[in-house]
Amino acid sequence: MLRYLNRCSGGRGAWLLLALTAFALEMTALYFQHVMLLKPCVMCIYERCALFGIMGAGIVGAIAPKTPLRWVAIVIWLYSAWEGVRLAWEHTMIQLHPSPFVTCDFAARFPTWLPLDKWFPSVFVASGDCADKVWSFLTLSMPQWLVGICAAYLLVAVLVLIAQAFKPKRRDLFSR
């Protein structure tokens, strides 16, 4: 399996699939926000940024999968998936154990050199409350689903990282 993951990480298809799945999740989030009129909170915006990081890792990996740029993509993928799990877990705890002493910020804090909330307000401006459960499916809220989704991204990223040590076998027409 690890040799297979190594071979996949050397091609564009797997990286584009990674980017496509993250893009689909982003489009789902925007559907919830703009069509279903669910207000995203600050934690939702940060979780969205983690998914954009995973999508960016897929794009970076697809650019040149057989070069050292693949290592950059794996690092971005690992970091973004880890942050996604961490943020979604924190958001889940806020929802499961609401407290007036543990709340999220009123607005997302982006670096001054990357003011995403100013550049793309329809995507990165928060207006909801982190403790509100505004949507659920199969009894799980949105951040609970994201814990599982980002954990799956993280697990696959770790396996792909480990797989880099296993060189794929060269197939020969006459060997068994």
Per-residue pLDDT at 152: 95
Q: pLDDT tens-digit profile of 115-166?
A: 777 788 778 777 777 777 777 788 888 888 999 999 999 999 988 888 887 7
User: Is residue 44 pLDDT above 60, yes or no?
Assistant: yes
Average pLDDT of the chain, as a whole number: 84
Query: What band does 170 get if pLDDT is binned at 50, 70 and 90?
Result: low
Place of tokens 């050292």: 68
- Catalytically annotated residue among 3, 7, 70, 130: 130
As given in the structure block, the two tokens for residue 152 are 């799956």
- Catalytically annotated residue among 3, 7, 12, 41: 41
The reply to whether 150 belongs to the active site is no
Residue of 124, 113, 11 lying closest to 70 (CA atoms) = 11
pTM of the predicted structure, to 2 decimals: 0.83
The reply to whether 130 belongs to the active site is yes
Per-residue pLDDT at 150: 95
CATH classification for the domain delimited by 1-107+138-166, as one of 1.20.1550.10, 3.40.80.10, 3.40.50.300, 2.60.34.10: 1.20.1550.10
Per-residue pLDDT at 171: 61
Q: pLDDT tens-digit profile of 78-110?
A: 999 999 999 999 988 888 887 777 677 777 787
The reply to whether 8 belongs to the active site is no
Widest CA span in the chain: 70
Residue of 61, 105, 103, 53 lying closest to 81 (CA atoms) = 53
**DSSP bridge pairs for 141:** 136
- Catalytically annotated residue among 49, 70, 104, 150: 104
